[in-house]
Amino acid sequence: MRAIVITGVGGPEVLEVREVPTPEPSGKQVRVRVRACGLNRADLLQARGHYPAPPDAPADIPGLEYAGEVEALGPDVTGPLRVGDRVFGIVGGGGQAESVLTHERLAVPIPPNLDFVTAAAVPEAFLTAHDALLTQGRLAPGRRVLIHAAGSGVGTAAVQLAHAMGCTVFGTSRTAAKLERVKALGLDQGIDTSHEDFAAVVQSQTGGAGVDVIVDFLGGPALAGNLAALAPRGRLVLVGLLGGTSAPLDLNLMLRKRLTIVGTTLRARPLEEKIAATRRFAEEVIPWLARGLVHPVVDSVFPFEEVRAALARLESNQVFGKVVLRMGSPLFKV
C-alpha cells in the first residue's frame, strides 16, 4: 500500500508518499481501506520529533483519523462490523495511508448523510470537543461556555455541540472574519483577541457572573484571563497549548472561586479509555450528525499526494475548520 511516511526530522518537506507493507489485522483489529483522512497539528509536531507515536501505532506514518471502508477482519472480531461497512474513527497514528488498522470498538459507522471527505473531518474534532465539553468539563445544558480559537477544527465542533445543548457560547479568534463564520454555527458572542481582552468581555457580557466551562487551546498566555473569566466552581479544560506551555498560576483566585483545571489528550490514553470516549461520542454525537444538527466544517481538501501543501495550509493559521486529504486516483470519487 502507499502511505505518507515521515522520512526525517523537520517540517512538511520531510513527508513523502512511499510504498510500505499492508498491515494484517490481528485479534480484535479491523483493517480499513482509507478513503479520506483529516490533518492535525499533531502530524506536524510528530514530523518535528516532538510527539512520538504511541507503541501501538506505526512510528513513521502520521494520521490520527480516517474515514473509509472495512476491508479485513481480525480473527477475534465479534462485533457487528462487516467487510464493506463505512466507518470512521481516531487512531494513535497510521491514518495517512491507503489502509489502517484499528480496534473494532474504535471504528464507528459513518452516518449515511456524510460522504468520506466530510466524514474524515469528524473524528478528532468532534470526539475531542465532545470529550472536553461533557466528560472533562461536565457542561450541562443551558450553561455558559467559552471556546478559544473558535474557528479551529476542534473549536468549530465545540461551538456547535455547545449551541445544540442550548448553552450560551462565547468564542475567541484573532481573525474577525472567522468569528463572523462561527456565528453561523451557533456562536453567541465573538471576541476578537487581536484587540479585545476576552476576560473583560466575558465579565461585562455576563454581568460579572463568568462562564461555567472554558475549552482552551492556547495555554500559557490565556491562563490568567481564563481564571478571571470563569464563574465560581468553573472548569478550565486544557486541550492545546498553541500559545505556550507555562504561565504563573494565581492559586488565591483558584481557591476563592473553587476552580478546576483539567488537562486532556486523546492520543496518549489507554485503549479502554479511547473506546469509552468513542462509544460515548457514538451514542451522543452521531445522532446529531445524522440529523444535521451539527456538521463537520471542511476548510480544504487536498489529494493524498499533496500532503506537504495541505500541512502548510494548516500551519498558516488561515484554516477555518478541518483540512482533509482525499485518497485514490483522480477517477475515484468520494
Ligand X SMILES: NC(=O)c1ccc[n+]([C@@H]2O[C@H](COP(=O)([O-])OP(=O)(O)OC[C@H]3O[C@@H](n4cnc5c(N)ncnc54)[C@H](OP(=O)(O)O)[C@@H]3O)[C@@H](O)[C@H]2O)c1
CB of 56 vs ligand X, minimal distance in Å: 16
Sole window of 3-11, 113-121, 173-181, 227-235 interacting with ligand X (rule: CB under 6 A): 173-181
Phi, psi of 329 (to 5 degrees): -75, 165
Q: Could you say which of 173, 211, 215, 235 contacts ligand X (CB under 6 A)? A: 173
Strand, coil or helix: 33: strand
Q: Could you say which of 62, 137, 151, 190 contacts ligand X (CB under 6 A)? A: 151
Strand arrangement of the beta sheet that strand 189-192 belongs to: 189-192, 168-173, 144-147, 211-216, 230-238, 260-263
Residue 54 binding ligand X, by CB under 6 A: no
Q: Could you say which of 12, 224, 317, 328 contacts ligand X (CB under 6 A)? A: 317
Please state, in angstroms and rounded to a whole number, the distance separating the CA atoms of residues 325 and 98. Answer: 11
Residue 224 binding ligand X, by CB under 6 A: no
Strand partners, 73: 30
Cell of 101: 488498522
Q: Could you say which of 46, 128, 136, 160 contacts ligand X (CB under 6 A)? A: 128
Residue 216 binding ligand X, by CB under 6 A: no
Residue 319 binding ligand X, by CB under 6 A: yes
- For Cα atoms 46, 265, 284, give the angle at the middle one, nearest 5 degrees: 125
Considering the complex, state which of residue 35 and residue 322 has its C-beta at the smaller distance from ligand X: 322
Please state, in angstroms and rounded to a whole number, the distance separating the CA atoms of residues 60 and 57. Answer: 9
Residue 89 binding ligand X, by CB under 6 A: no
**β-strands 322-326, 29-38 pairing:** antiparallel
Sole window of 9-17, 78-86, 182-190, 238-246 interacting with ligand X (rule: CB under 6 A): 238-246
Instruction: Tell me the H-state helices in the chain.
Output: 41-47, 116-120, 123-130, 153-164, 176-183, 198-205, 223-229, 251-257, 271-284, 286-291, 307-315
Q: What is the DSSP letter of 149?
A: S
At 185, the amino acid letter reads L
Q: Which residue is nearest to ligand X (CB)?
A: 240
Q: Could you give the string, one character per residue 274-313, with x where binding to ligand X holds by CB under 6 A and - elsewhere?
A: ----------------------------------------
Residue 113 binding ligand X, by CB under 6 A: no
Q: Give the interface with ligand X as residue ranges (CB under 6 A).
A: 40-42, 124, 128, 149, 151-155, 173-175, 178, 217-218, 239-240, 242-243, 264-266, 314, 317, 319
